[in-house]
Structure 1
């Protein structure tokens, strides 16, 4: 009963709740920190997308402009080759008419015209072209077998003494008859010049891929993989499927993880720009490690402080509980003291009033205790009081029962829900047991018991019950002591 009332009257923050709150705070700060770091990472990735996208668009625009320029020269030759008057004019004049608009940039090779058998008949660089035959070349075959094929860009090849790509178009008569091809050449030096004038990060990659996945050019340059079919590489597969986009994956050549970005082009080549994720997220990873380390250290410190605080709070709580028990307990007998008795009486009276149930009270007093003290001393008297307290506590078996030292040699036993007859019977058992207690072979003392019972109502208070039990106790003493006496009828109106 003492522990129950102590917990009811004492309200404090549990160390477990404190630790839970600390854990929630740490988790909250960790979540906020994680959200900020993720936002920073997304920002770095977005910036990389924009940078690489602009770079890809710039390179693509340059390649598109030069291919278009060179293609205009090829189409001019195709258009003029079908003019009947071209056969009748002199060779120098024909050369001038056919190649007057030919692109002459230093990275462009000579434009050549073949007949239906693949033999070179005209060359923009000379009036007397050396014998050459392109019948076995793919850029000749594709136009011979497909009359609808437009501009063809070859795989990387050795042509006119240099490595590069061949651009070709079909020459056909007005009735569609195949007459040969016109072919031009762009040297690799053009692509090298593009990459050389760019300021690239370490492990940056620029790839130019044909529409069938064949690698036309790569920077850093690696002749061993130029011309390889990369159509099965995930990044290239996506680039072939979508006009523009991005992909993060490992390179099939060097195994470096990169972010690849490509943009829609107006020519048969796809420009892909890749940047290592170590470069993109390198600074972010450093900051993430620093922030994460700082947050982790602060979290550990906070947890350690919370554990120390919780332990100290636990110790303080235990001490407060002990102090509360001491404040509500009689130091000599271990029973509840008068203060605790008053609290329990008020609580049980209200509870009985709500339930309209009886509540009984025994008031117990040691007989001739002053004389016993004078004859045997206070230490012997204390032992007697402890013996009486032991007997009363042994008979207060229910959780709702409350045995208390009421004052001096007087004790009280609150018995909620017990009738007067049951209370008298219990009082008798205690009296008889105390009467048989012995010290050094003789009976120590006897007790007198006053019993009262009331059903609480609006007309009564707990003091009425106490006064009734106290009056019954004095009646018992007046009738010779060592007996249990019920409250008189006039004192127990409304009694059970």
Structure 2
């Protein structure tokens, strides 16, 4: 039916507006999720590139340090080995120096090799044929070899050695019978690390830290004498598991509060290297891209959502306009009741529902008595007032949600009462008739006649049978003297059917 199609069209419009908003929001969320995923991938990519760069830097520094320590250790080994020869004690000082230090590594950053006897007294000095008296028996690099024969190469904590800050490298001198014969000692000055780090192009905030195996800081750039020599193993707020060999760590480090990406070089050397780069520097380019793409995405989201809201509002306005047009198309302009078109759609719908559910359908056919004569006597305007008054009385009496009161045509009205039994329909008819009778006064003296019918739809019946039965009951009311309600008997309804 036309009305039903209009109702379905309005419902589609409303659904379309909701679907438009939902789909737009879902699209925005989807694109935002994709954008966020891409941004996170870019962030991981930036971190990975920075990590690889730091690994390469740490590898280069570690290789240089390990090579120099190895070369210097070879010199210490050679001195310790030559001192074990019995003939070395019988040669002159000049020849002894030539034998002991001929293959010793020499560089401006390496200190002269010294030999201390079992009591810690300086016995041989590569820098002098006649060394001055000196005792280092209480130094860590001496006592560790005296007390622990298997120590091997020992690297001391940073210390002031022979007038310069340095790390001391030492090895034990052991006799053929395993006796402790002393210690051979050398040093690598801090100037070596300063020169090594100075050749690198570091960004502001970058750090390079050289540590001993027990996590004692040997050297760090930027240089801070208060940090040099600190043992991180004693720092409770920093755990060694944060930065394992060959691993990386992002966050606050053990030395300062600046968040950095730290990379530790996996090395077999007694020293290892940790390189750090501020996270702000690592993600600086990424942050710029995020802000740029985020601004573009925000603008697009605002555009999509505003466009969606505008379209949804227009769809809503169109649906409202269609509702108004539908209302106008289904409403009688004079009385405000439903018109014949709406009535036909409603009775068709209710008849089918009643047939499915086995419920009765009641119908009232109402006609104004002597209306033509009244209209001819008092004019069409007065007649229209009578019709409006009757419509008001009908509206006051018919209040159920499913009921439908309509102007059937001219001075005739119809009231559809779904689910109403014959008695219930008749009671409604009488209520309407009495209201109209009470309403009329003075010159506006009119009444209504009502035909009442109620049918429970059966196979082969149409709703037109119900209208015909109510219409015949209305004619009976007219023939019986008007201003009354007549209920169609079941026999007459059966005959009609």
**Runs of 4+ more than 6 Å apart:** 3-6
Structure 2 counterparts to residues 194-205 of structure 1, below 5 A: 194-205=196-207
Verify: 1:470 aligned to 2:471, yes or no: yes
Q: Could you say what secondary structure the match of 1:105 adopts?
A: coil
8 Å CA contact 2:145–2:183 kept in 1: the answer is yes
Partner of 1:486: 487
| Aligned counterparts of 2:311 and 2:385: Cα–Cα separation in 1 | 43
TM-aligned CA deviation for residue 381 of structure 1: 0.7
1:252-271 deviation per Cα after TM superposition (whole angstroms, max 9, x unaligned): 55532211110211121121
The alignment's C-alpha RMSD in Å is 2.6
TM-aligned CA deviation for residue 54 of structure 1: 1.5
Partner of 1:40: 42
TM-score (norm 2): 0.92
1:129-154 deviation per Cα after TM superposition (whole angstroms, max 9, x unaligned): 33332223221121122222111111
Change over 3 Å in CA distance of 1:116–1:429 after alignment to 2 = closer
TM-aligned CA deviation for residue 482 of structure 1: 2.8
User: Alignment partner for residue 114 of structure 1, among 91, 113, 116?
Assistant: 116
Change over 3 Å in CA distance of 1:291–1:373 after alignment to 2 = same
Structure 2 counterparts to residues 88-237 of structure 1, below 5 A: 88-233=90-235, 237=239
Q: Could you say what secondary structure the match of 1:165 adopts?
A: strand
| Aligned counterparts of 1:240 and 1:158: Cα–Cα separation in 2 | 31
TM-aligned CA deviation for residue 385 of structure 1: 0.5
Partner of 2:81: 79
| Aligned counterparts of 1:383 and 1:332: Cα–Cα separation in 2 | 9
Structure 2 counterparts to residues 364-379 of structure 1, below 5 A: 364-379=366-381
Structure 2, unpaired ranges of 5+: none
Verify: 1:279 aligned to 2:281, yes or no: yes
Change over 3 Å in CA distance of 1:151–1:365 after alignment to 2 = same
Report how many aligned residue pairs link the two structures: 493
TM-aligned CA deviation for residue 467 of structure 1: 1.7
8 Å CA contact 1:435–1:443 kept in 2: the answer is no
Structure 2 counterparts to residues 58-457 of structure 1, below 5 A: 58-233=60-235, 237-238=239-240, 242-251=244-253, 253-439=255-441, 441-457=442-458
Change over 3 Å in CA distance of 1:258–1:406 after alignment to 2 = same
Q: Could you say what secondary structure the match of 1:218 adopts?
A: strand
8 Å CA contact 1:218–1:226 kept in 2: the answer is yes
TM-aligned CA deviation for residue 121 of structure 1: 1.7
TM-aligned CA deviation for residue 208 of structure 1: 0.5
TM-aligned CA deviation for residue 246 of structure 1: 1.8
1:278-318 deviation per Cα after TM superposition (whole angstroms, max 9, x unaligned): 11011111111222222223323333333344344333333
TM-aligned CA deviation for residue 382 of structure 1: 0.8
Q: Could you say what secondary structure the match of 1:442 adopts?
A: coil
Structure 1, unpaired ranges of 5+: none
TM-aligned CA deviation for residue 113 of structure 1: 1.0
TM-aligned CA deviation for residue 479 of structure 1: 3.8
| Aligned counterparts of 1:18 and 1:357: Cα–Cα separation in 2 | 40
8 Å CA contact 2:243–2:264 kept in 1: the answer is no
1:188-237 deviation per Cα after TM superposition (whole angstroms, max 9, x unaligned): 22212221222212111001111222211111222333222333458974
Change over 3 Å in CA distance of 1:60–1:309 after alignment to 2 = same
| Aligned counterparts of 1:115 and 1:428: Cα–Cα separation in 2 | 134
| Aligned counterparts of 2:159 and 2:495: Cα–Cα separation in 1 | 120
8 Å CA contact 1:213–1:240 kept in 2: the answer is no
8 Å CA contact 1:235–1:260 kept in 2: the answer is no
| Aligned counterparts of 1:484 and 1:333: Cα–Cα separation in 2 | 22
1:358-388 deviation per Cα after TM superposition (whole angstroms, max 9, x unaligned): 2121111112222211111111111111111
8 Å CA contact 1:384–1:444 kept in 2: the answer is no
| Aligned counterparts of 1:395 and 1:6: Cα–Cα separation in 2 | 28
Q: Could you say what secondary structure the match of 1:492 adopts?
A: helix
8 Å CA contact 1:447–1:483 kept in 2: the answer is yes
TM-aligned CA deviation for residue 17 of structure 1: 5.0
| Aligned counterparts of 1:353 and 1:122: Cα–Cα separation in 2 | 123
| Aligned counterparts of 1:202 and 1:466: Cα–Cα separation in 2 | 95
Change over 3 Å in CA distance of 1:256–1:432 after alignment to 2 = closer
| Aligned counterparts of 1:256 and 1:10: Cα–Cα separation in 2 | 62
